[in-house]
Amino acid sequence: MYSDHARPVFPHGFRWSTATSAFQIEGSRDADGRGRSIWDDFIDVPGAVKDGSTADPSCDSYRRPEADVALAAGLGVDHYRFSIQWARVQPDGSGPANMAGLDHYSRFVDALLEAGVAPFPTLYHWEMPSAVEADGGWLNRDTAERFADYTALVAERLGDRVPQWYTLNEPAMTTLQGYATGALAPGKQLLFGALPTVHHQLLAHARAAEVLKANGARRVGLVNNHTWVLPLHDTDEDRMVAAVYDTIHNRIFSEPLLEGAYPDLEALGLPPMPVQPGDLDLIRWSIDFYGINFYNPTTVTAAHGESPIPFEIVPTPGVPVTGFGPEWPIMPEALRDLLVDLHARHPHLPPVIIGENGASFPEPESATRVEDTDRIGYLSGHIAAVAEAIDAGVPVEEYTVWSLLDNWEWADGYTQRFGLVHVDFATGERTPKASYDWYRSFIADARAEASAHAEVAR
């Protein structure tokens, strides 16, 4: 069964993946010399995490890596996207490597390879050492060089077995929620004063890409969170603020990578980026693929009164929602429209990877078999949207479900569940959901059908 959608046909060689991030699943925050990160600091702020939880033990994956490898292999995915904690490898964000941390990730890479799953690591999934943030974090240009130094430690150890890498995860969310509104770590509330973090993250990515390539990497990219922006009303005012929001959420990150220039920020009344000579050339030629995380569209309307922000994010009318409520509307065609529009803006778009796509829905806490038909419908609709974008000429080559496991969902703690696998956080027991079985069958069928079409084409 493929929900309400006919099974789309994908090209031969299309890849299927699933993903997690280290801080959300590993637990063991004090183990083996791990340093303190900005998320440890955020957790300690009263009221910062919705349910007061601490990300420990979460899925206990630091001590149970073999369970996660088996689940990834059982899906039949091509890649498993996981992340490496900077604070495990370099506890203070400078100096030599913590070998216990590197050993852990080296063993994990070996286990994946032995199970027939290609490792696809992310070097930075929001987990900055506290010492780096104390020196300015992403507001400080020097952080790009510190990130390159950390990358070198990882690449020198894993580069002989890992040919493809993500550098940064969702720099937009780090800027917008980490530094502008304070909803995520490091909890700054700088509004438009957060914008220099955009450039410093992109520069860090580009420097890391250089280091990775020098250590044998074949393919390097980053993964941006993108959203399809809709004006609430068909008015000039709402269309204008939709364009502003599109710029600061999407285009300010995509255009330096894809065109080597920032949008005209000064035309929007925003300060220019802190660009130095050579920066944009380095950024422009730093990606072999373009990663996109997509969850939902964003509807905006013009803000009124004395707000320093010209737009207001509002519920998207007429569509269902996930467990987050109106904050996360479900609109699969928005992913298709986003991809088609990106390709129209950038005709020489490199290969695209959907680095995350998934949804949270209310589910039981204790270990159980979950019949998560809502999640199957969400995934089915978005996979069909990817197929439609490919049919329209967008060079998408991989799709990744977020997430393999229920996990600790950042500032929402354990109140949201995204996993294909249910995790009982009291016991660590993992129970595949109906969506796990559905995705496994979908992958097998999609591969068989693609092979059959390729054979006919010969």
Catalytic residue IDs = 170, 356
Query: Which residue reads 């269309």 in tokens?
Result: 239
Q: Is 437 exposed, middle or buried (0-12, 13-18, 19+ CB in 10 A)?
A: middle
First-to-final CA distance of the chain: 29
Calpha distance 433→456 (Å, rounded): 35
Q: Is 181 exposed, middle or buried (0-12, 13-18, 19+ CB in 10 A)?
A: middle
Closest CA to 366 of 332, 406, 403, 324: 406
Closest CA to 90 of 46, 147, 51: 147
Token pair of 211, please? 């280091």
SS (H, E, C) 162-205: CCEEEEEECHHHHHHHHHHCCCCCCCCCCHHHHCHHHHHHHHHH
Burial string for 385-421 (b: 16+ CB within 10 Å, else e) reads bbbbbbeeebebbbbbbbbbbbbbbbbebbbbbbbbb
Q: Is 254 exposed, middle or buried (0-12, 13-18, 19+ CB in 10 A)?
A: buried
Q: Give me the sign of the Cα torsion angle 148, 149, 150, 154.
A: positive
Token pair of 396, please? 């998408």
Calpha distance 176→225 (Å, rounded): 11
- Decide: helix, strand or coil at residue 424: coil
Calpha distance 100→93 (Å, rounded): 16
- Decide: helix, strand or coil at residue 219: strand
